[in-house]
């Protein structure tokens, strides 16, 4: 059983959070003995996203409990978090207790600011690849990769790449056939139509 937490914060990019939620939520509802998913924020309750959608965090940092995977989405809301020492301390502490941390889009910028990508390959949204390199010059920035699996840290490129990364993680945890079943149920075709 994998317990997956998806982080929410003010100005999170909607699809960065909702894409992985769709993948992991579908996995959890179709195979409840294999996975569960929970949303978390500083405190439980409403969280306003980048384009006006309001999410509701199930749990706060203090009561979320242990996770097997933490998904850190991106969005405009990551920028103030890059300098929020309390938040960066929380990210480091959570990383010590969580076997796998995954980021979508500019979520990797916060991981870099927290020192979690030091000496690792990683990616982010195409428009922030240079900023990722600035935040931590030791990061091996993968400019062309849709996602980068470095074992206990997985980063993905921008926005919709979080769906691909999440399907990859389902395949990693439960096998390729399970990931194909979920992809089929979502009617998700990762190849662009044009």
Q: Where do the domains of the chain lie?
A: 2-186
Sequence-distant (≥ 6) Cβ neighbours of residue 162 within 8 angstroms? 15, 16, 19, 20, 71, 73, 104, 105, 156
**Average pLDDT over every residue of 136-156:** 97
CA distances from 27 to 32, 50, 122, 157 (A): 7, 26, 26, 22
> Which tens digits make up the pLDDT trace of 47-92?
999 999 999 999 999 999 999 999 999 999 999 999 999 999 999 9
**Average pLDDT over every residue of 99-124:** 98
Local confidence band at 192 (pLDDT 50, 70, 90 cut-offs): low
Has 31 been annotated as catalytic?
no
**Average pLDDT over every residue of 141-157:** 97
From 17, 37, 104, 105, active-site residue:
105
Local confidence band at 191 (pLDDT 50, 70, 90 cut-offs): confident
Mean confidence (pLDDT) of the chain:
96
Q: Is 3.40.50.880 the CATH number for 2-186?
A: yes
Q: What is the pLDDT of residue 193?
A: 62
- pTM higher than 0.75: yes
What do you get for the CA distance between the two ends of the chain, in Å? 38
């Amino acid at each position: 059983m994998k317990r997956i937490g998806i982080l929410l914060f003010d100005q999170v990019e909607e699809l960065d959070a909702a894409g992985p939620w769709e993948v992991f939520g579908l996995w959890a509802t179709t195979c409840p003995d294999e996975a569960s998913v929970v949303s978390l924020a500083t405190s439980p309750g409403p969280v306003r996203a980048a384009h006006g959608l309001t999410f509701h965090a199930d749990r706060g940092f203090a009561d979320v409990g242990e996770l097997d995977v933490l998904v850190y989405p991106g969005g405009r809301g990551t920028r103030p978090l890059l300098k929020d020492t309390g938040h960066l301390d929380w990210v480091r502490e959570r990383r010590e207790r969580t076997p796998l941390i995954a980021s979508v889009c500019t979520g990797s910028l916060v991981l870099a600011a927290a020192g979690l990508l030091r000496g690792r390959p990683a990616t982010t949204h195409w428009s922030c690849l240079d900023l990722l390199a600035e935040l931590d010059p030791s990061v091996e920035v993968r400019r062309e990769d849709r996602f980068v699996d470095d074992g206990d840290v997985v980063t993905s490129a921008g926005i919709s790449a979080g769906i691909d990364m999440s399907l990859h993680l389902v395949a990693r945890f439960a096998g390729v056939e399970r990931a194909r079943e979920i992809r089929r149920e979502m009617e998700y075709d990762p190849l662009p139509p044009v």
